[in-house]
Amino acid sequence: MLEYPDNAMQVQRPQLWIIDLTRDRKIRTFEIPESIVQQGVGMASLVVDADGTDCEKSYAYIPDLVQGAIYVYSFEANRMWAFRHSSFQHDPQRAAFNVAGQRFNWDDGIFSITVGNRDPATRSKPVYYHPMVSTTEFITFTEVLQNEALATNGGYENLFQTIGDRGPNAQSTMHHFDGESQVLFYAEVNRNSIGCWNTQSNFSAENHDIIHHDNERMIYPTDLSADVSGAIWVLSNNLPTWIYSRLNVNQYNFYLWRQTPLVAIQGTKCQIE
């Protein structure tokens, strides 16, 4: 689906492409069934939950900001199923944005999913997620998402829970859990910043902090991810200006920011004691 403003075009059915980067070859493609996704316009991101000892046990979790769903793909079963929950919807009280002088209201639902460290006792991992139009963070667990029978039969409403609120203007596109520092990093689009929370502390606005803020080079941080070394990468793209006004082609509108997690959190509330 090509989502040009007012001119969406369906090119083909949405697919997953699984590629072995060490050998530069495609392993598999999986066409997402129409029973799961009609068009695929709302799948903004994807997170892979891989077992380091058995690739067959790998899963992909895909949030759908339009349909308010999480799609789960099992590599071993080569199947996909869906969870739907009220916490995947946007928060109308957090719909107002003011970015680079552009004021607008959006209704994007669940946008980002990130997976925490495995609990040695339960063998499960926490799964943190949030809608973009919201300042609330939510949690479930991999043992929930990986249960196809649960997704099919229902009765899982209480297995998706609220952690807390990040505070005013903390709407976030993507976020990422760093396993070494145990810190969550957020791309905060409504204040041109990168936020953080140390998961070893209580979840509250007071325990969140900003590791980087720039009203010129961090306008609308649209993507945040980590490379194989653990370094955090953030892309800002000035999207609201492009949608509601006009980009200045005589200046830079796209920026990349990079930092290692332990350096990024130095001097903040997220620093490891």
Number of Cβ within 10 Å of residue 73's Cβ equals 21
CA angle 185, 138, 193 (to 5 degrees): 30
Phi, psi of 52 (to 5 degrees): -65, -15
How many Å is the maximal CA-CA distance in the chain?
56
Q: Helix (H, G, I), strand (E, B), or coil: what is residue 171? A: coil
pLDDT given at position 1: 54
Residue that is written with structure tokens 């590791």 in the block = 211
Amino acid at 168: P
Instruction: Give the tens place of pLDDT for each residue, 222-254.
Output: 999 999 999 999 999 999 999 999 999 999 999
How much is the average pLDDT of 207-219?
Answer: 97
Strand partners, 79: 74
Instruction: Give the tens place of pLDDT for each residue, 169-196.
Output: 999 999 999 999 999 999 999 999 999 9
The side-by-side arrangement of strands in the sheet containing 232-236 is 221-226, 232-236, 255-259
Those residues with Cβ within 8 angstroms of residue 143's Cβ, 6 or more apart along the chain or in another chain: 122, 123, 124
Distance of alpha carbon 131 from alpha carbon 64, whole angstroms: 10
Whole-angstrom Cα Rg for the chain = 19
Confidence of residue 3 (pLDDT cuts 50, 70, 90): low
Q: Return the structure tokens found at 35.
A: 């029973």
Domain ranges of the chain: 38-264
| pLDDT of 6 above 80 | no
pLDDT given at position 4: 59
CATH code for the part of the protein at 38-264:
2.120.10.30
Distance of alpha carbon 65 from alpha carbon 43, whole angstroms: 6
Statement: the pTM of the whole predicted model exceeds 0.75: yes
CA atoms within 13 Å, Cβ hemisphere of 31: 7
Mean pLDDT of all residues belonging to the chain: 95
Distance of alpha carbon 208 from alpha carbon 199, whole angstroms: 10
pLDDT given at position 12: 83
Distance of alpha carbon 212 from alpha carbon 172, whole angstroms: 14
pLDDT given at position 40: 77
Q: Helix (H, G, I), strand (E, B), or coil: what is residue 178? A: strand
Burial of 265 (0-12, 13-18, 19+ CB in 10 A): buried
Distance of alpha carbon 58 from alpha carbon 212, whole angstroms: 33
pLDDT given at position 273: 72
Distance of alpha carbon 42 from alpha carbon 1, whole angstroms: 10
Distance of alpha carbon 116 from alpha carbon 126, whole angstroms: 5
| pLDDT of 120 above 70 | yes
pLDDT given at position 209: 98
| pLDDT of 71 above 90 | yes
pLDDT given at position 109: 98
pLDDT given at position 51: 79
Distance of alpha carbon 113 from alpha carbon 15, whole angstroms: 19
> Cα(first)–Cα(last) distance of the chain, in Å?
46
pLDDT given at position 5: 61
Residue that is written with structure tokens 């997976």 in the block = 115
Confidence of residue 221 (pLDDT cuts 50, 70, 90): very high
Which H or E run contains 115? strand 110-115
